[in-house]
Structure 1
Amino acid sequence: MSAPESARAAEPTAPAAADEPDALGHSTPVALTIPEIDLRTSHMVELGLNHDRSLEVPEEWQAVGWYSLGAAPGQEGPAVLAGHLDSTTGPAVFHRLDELRNRDTISVERADGNVVDFTVYAVERYAKGDFPAEEVYGDTGHPELRLITCGGDFDATTGHYTDNIVVFADLAEDSVRR
């Protein structure tokens, strides 16, 4: 199988300015933990935009990429993390992402030593041509998290999956810890 693309049809934007200062400020995510799908990784990379303004994807199958031009986890707005579903040799870092359910917990450790917890409130599948960029990247007025990977059928002609899986998560109560 060829490299899956995450959010190919999307056009991410920078987060809107906050009305009030962020409680945590901007800090790079350094680890991701999702107990419900046995995911724990500190293989994190920064992502930007491709020339067509779509979200870059991590080069490595086991890396989780953070859209560094947007919010950091715990800042106001949606922090966006992307990873591959599979590789030419087997499952990749986000291969079980579609198994998440409402109320599951996602924890992101930041470079400043804070760990921020999020609670899943939706797991959606979108055709790449109908990717809801505003819903995924648009201002939320509060800290949220988005996890993105590929889904749907694999198109051997294009070498890509037909859909994207997007996990939506809110900042959990008592969510920040050291």
Structure 2
Amino acid sequence: MARAGAPLALAAALVAGVLTGCSAPASTAVSAPAAPAATAAPSPSPSASAPVPAAAAPALPAVPRVDAGLPASAPAVPEPARVEVPALGVDVSVVPEGIDDAGALALPEDPGVAAWYEYGPSPFADAGSSVIAAHVDSLQYGLGDFAALAGAPAGTEVLVRSADGTTARFAVVSVETTDKTGVPGATVFDRTGAPRLTLITCGGEFDYGAGHYLSNVIVTAAPVP
């Protein structure tokens, strides 16, 4: 379950450099995606506003700051443990993460492990955008499964599984490759509105001078009854 006392409103102008980890290219630059930037804080009281992390290398959208006082007792919602896109061969484990010391979403170095922004909605919640991101590639681990997301057709099935075996089914609605400076943070990290799943990774051209991809691949998927 998401941490009850976590700064749910800690969505703030977050990174401009979230997926700084999609830096070292595999042997060649991959037209894949980027990860989300979030603002996670230690664990202040529900009413405390999250600190604004320092901007890192351009990587992901700025997370909009929202007022988030947690209700006295938030309902338990399963946490995601795995994401699968059978048609694309995507099958990665998922771990909950906040932000790292650089102010970017903390992502596992292995592209085979994705990070769920734990201070935002869960894929099993009934409202808001649940954000899960992963590196597109790594010199040590090679190309990651999320590299395939750029080619996901509308309607592609996405499965999110929790540790207790609960499965949430989604269908891809859109796939966008956006310059890192133009990612709609308010939409990506929205905690309200219809429930949806947002998958992010690095993509587009690789800037060898800067050491990172210039774009983000953002996949939006809607729940399937």
Note closer, same or farther for the CA distance 1:17–1:97 as it changes in structure 2 (3 Å cut). Answer: farther
Could you tell which deviates more after superposition, 44-53 or 92-101? 44-53
Tell me by how many angstroms 1:168 deviates: 0.2
Q: How does 1:95-134 map to 2 (within 5 A)?
A: 95-134=147-186
Note closer, same or farther for the CA distance 1:98–1:172 as it changes in structure 2 (3 Å cut). Answer: same
Contact 2:121 2:191 in 1 (8 A): no
Tell me by how many angstroms 1:124 deviates: 0.4
Q: How does 1:1-178 map to 2 (within 5 A)?
A: 2=24, 6-7=35-36, 8-12=59-63, 25-41=76-92, 43-51=93-101, 53-75=103-125, 76-88=127-139, 90-173=142-225
In the alignment, structure 2 segments of 5+ residues that lack a partner are 1-22, 26-32, 37-58
Could you tell which deviates more after superposition, 54-63 or 137-146? 54-63
Tell me by how many angstroms 1:138 deviates: 1.3
Aligned to 1:176: none
Of Structure 1 and Structure 2, the greater strand share is in 1
In the alignment, structure 1 segments of 5+ residues that lack a partner are 174-178
Find the residue that maps to 1:70 and give its secondary structure. coil
TM-score, normalization: structure 1? Answer: 0.83
Residue by residue, what CA displacement relative to the aligned partner does 1:73-125 show, whole Å, maximum 9, x if unpaired? 12121111101111115311311110111111101011243100011100001
Distance 1:125 1:134 in 2: 17
Tell me by how many angstroms 1:55 deviates: 2.5
Note closer, same or farther for the CA distance 1:12–1:50 as it changes in structure 2 (3 Å cut). Answer: farther
Distance 1:59 1:13 in 2: 26
Distance 2:219 2:192 in 1: 15
Amino acid in structure 2 at the alignment position of 1:58: P
Percent identity between the two aligned chains: 30
Structure showing greater radius of gyration is 2
Tell me by how many angstroms 1:14 deviates: 8.0
Contact 1:12 1:55 in 2 (8 A): no
Contact 1:29 1:109 in 2 (8 A): yes
Distance 2:78 2:99 in 1: 19
Note closer, same or farther for the CA distance 1:13–1:26 as it changes in structure 2 (3 Å cut). Answer: farther
Find the residue that maps to 1:94 and give its secondary structure. helix
Aligned length: 169
TM-score, normalization: structure 2? Answer: 0.67
